[in-house]
Each structure stands twice: as C-alpha cells, then as structure tokens.
C-alpha cells in the first residue's frame, strides 16, 4: 500500500497545483501514478465545476471554470498542447521539432491551437454542463494512463516522458478504463450529465480516448516517442473531445 500512496502523491504533485510531499520518485511510483491519474482528474474536475454554479451567464461560468482548471494544473497541459503544435507544425525532422518544443516562447501554431481549443472548450462546456467537465478531466488523465503503456517509447532520454514511458501495464490501463466507463454508465443511468441519454457520457469517454490515441500515434511517428509536452497535449485533446461530444448531444 505504501507504493500506491507514493503513486497518489506523485500523481497529485505532477498533475495539479495541490501541495503534497513527494518522498519517492522512480519509475515504479511513476507507473502507479499514471494508473491513478484519472482519480486526480476527478478531483480537478469537481473543484473546477464551482464557477458553473454562479448566477449569470453560462458562458461566463464556463470561462471561469476553465480558468480555474488551468490554475489548478499550472497551465502545464495547455503549454504542452501549444508546444506540440509548434513542433509538429514546424514540419522539421524529429530532433529539430523537439528543439522547437523545448523553447520557452510560443509560436504561431501554438497560439492558434490554444485559442481555438479554449474557444471550443468554453462553448462546449457552457452547453454541456458540470458533469461533462468532470468526465473531460477524468478522460484526459485516462489518456495519460494509456500513453504510458509498453510500446510507447520516450522521445528523449530525460524528462517526464522518459520517467513514465512504458511504466503502466496494459491490464492496469484496461482496469482503469473499465472503472471510468462504468462510472460514466452509472452517471448517465442516474440522469446526470447531458440530456441526450445515458449513452452520451460513455460515448464521450471512448471518443476522447480515440482522438487522443490518434494524436499519440502521430506524435510517436513524427517525434519518435512521448515527451511531457505530448502528454499534456493528450490531456487537452481528450478533454476537448469529451466536452464537444457532450455538447452535441445535450
């Protein structure tokens, strides 16, 4: 149990701004943290929903909720999305694209991708509601779980990508996915979430994982593996997809 407690602390410390004491950092703990990443997403989603309860415009509430979520995650996933967009958009070979991604500034591809993603997220969240935001946060972190399974290498010898790459057994990723899907089915059956029916939440989860898997495959082909930026981009891609699907069926 001690190892799983270390995994919880690693997950919370890496994926959120919540202050935790991380006593042990190694690949075993990192693997457990990535299995537990959806649980961190559940907490982040629940806290980020608070502005949606404010009176007034639903669009304003959605914007404040997304701003709070960015604050709670230090904006790292959004930064990763922008960096990956710049790297892939550069059209350069893998080594040079990785150098582009390491720069501290954000290029035109990154800016456009960030603006477009946040507009879509805000519009979709205003339509879909708080349960969709929780599902989006959980699914985004579940995409991390699958990105850390064997067969997905690290693009660099160091960094977060090297720490977590290949640390999650496929069986553990499958169990985590079944738990998330079961929770989505139960929430839909209880009438929570979009008004389109009980199938919407599990469909949104599967769609989010599918789109993130496609992006992961493309990033591995172009860059040779995952980096921290790639992982952040997967979170935002999966979360955005979940919100869009929920909004479409609301």
Percent of the chain surpassing pLDDT 70:
98
pTM of the model: 0.95
40 pLDDT higher than 90: yes
Report the 10 Å Cβ neighbour count for 178: 10
Q: How confident is the model at residue 7 (pLDDT cuts 50, 70, 90)?
A: confident
Helix (H, G, I), strand (E, B) or coil at 77: helix
**Cβ–Cβ < 8 Å for 195, 232:** no
198 pLDDT higher than 90: no
In the predicted model, what is the mean pLDDT of residues 20-38? Answer: 90
pLDDT of residue 194: 76
Q: What are phi and psi of 154, to 5 degrees?
A: -90, 140
3-state DSSP of 8-74? HHHHHHHHCCCCCCCCCCCHHHHHHHHHCHHHHHHHHHHHHCHHHHCCCCHHHHHHHHHHHHHHHCC
Q: How far apart are CA 128 and CA 62, in angstroms?
A: 10
Q: How far apart are CA 242 and CA 138, in angstroms?
A: 10
Q: How confident is the model at residue 2 (pLDDT cuts 50, 70, 90)?
A: low
11 pLDDT higher than 80: yes
In the predicted model, what is the mean pLDDT of residues 214-222? Answer: 96
> What is the Cα 54 distance to its own chain's centre?
25
3-state DSSP of 185-222? HHHHHCCCCCCCCCCHHHHHHHHHHHHHHHHHHHHHHH
Q: How far apart are CA 104 and CA 45, in angstroms?
A: 28
Closest CA to 15 of 242, 241, 239, 212: 239
Q: How far apart are CA 198 and CA 212, in angstroms?
A: 23
pLDDT of residue 201: 95
């Amino acid at each position: 149990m001690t190892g799983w407690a270390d995994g919880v602390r690693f997950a919370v410390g890496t994926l959120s701004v919540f202050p935790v004491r991380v006593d042990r950092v190694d690949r075993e703990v990192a693997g457990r943290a990535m299995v537990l990443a959806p649980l961190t997403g559940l907490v982040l989603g629940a806290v980020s929903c608070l502005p949606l309860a404010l009176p007034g415009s639903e669009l304003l509430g959605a914007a404040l909720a997304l701003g709070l979520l960015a604050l709670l995650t230090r904006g790292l996933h959004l930064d990763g999305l922008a960096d990956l967009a710049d790297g892939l958009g550069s059209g350069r070979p893998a080594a040079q694209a990785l150098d582009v991604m390491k720069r501290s500034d954000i290029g035109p591809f990154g800016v456009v991708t960030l603006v477009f993603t946040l507009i879509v997220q805000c519009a979709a969240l205003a339509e879909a509601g708080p349960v969709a935001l929780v599902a989006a946060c959980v699914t985004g972190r579940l995409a991390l779980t699958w990105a850390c399974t064997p067969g997905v290498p690290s693009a660099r010898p160091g960094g977060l990508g090297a720490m977590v790459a290949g640390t999650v057994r496929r069986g553990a990723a499958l169990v985590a996915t079944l738990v998330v899907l079961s929770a989505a089915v139960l929430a839909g059956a209880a009438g929570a979430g979009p008004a389109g029916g009980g199938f919407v939440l599990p469909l949104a989860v599967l769609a989010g994982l599918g789109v993130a898997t496609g992006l992961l495959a493309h990033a591995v082909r172009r860059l040779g593996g995952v980096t921290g930026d790639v992982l952040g981009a997967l979170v935002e891609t999966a979360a955005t997809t979940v919100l869009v699907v929920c909004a479409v069926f609301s």
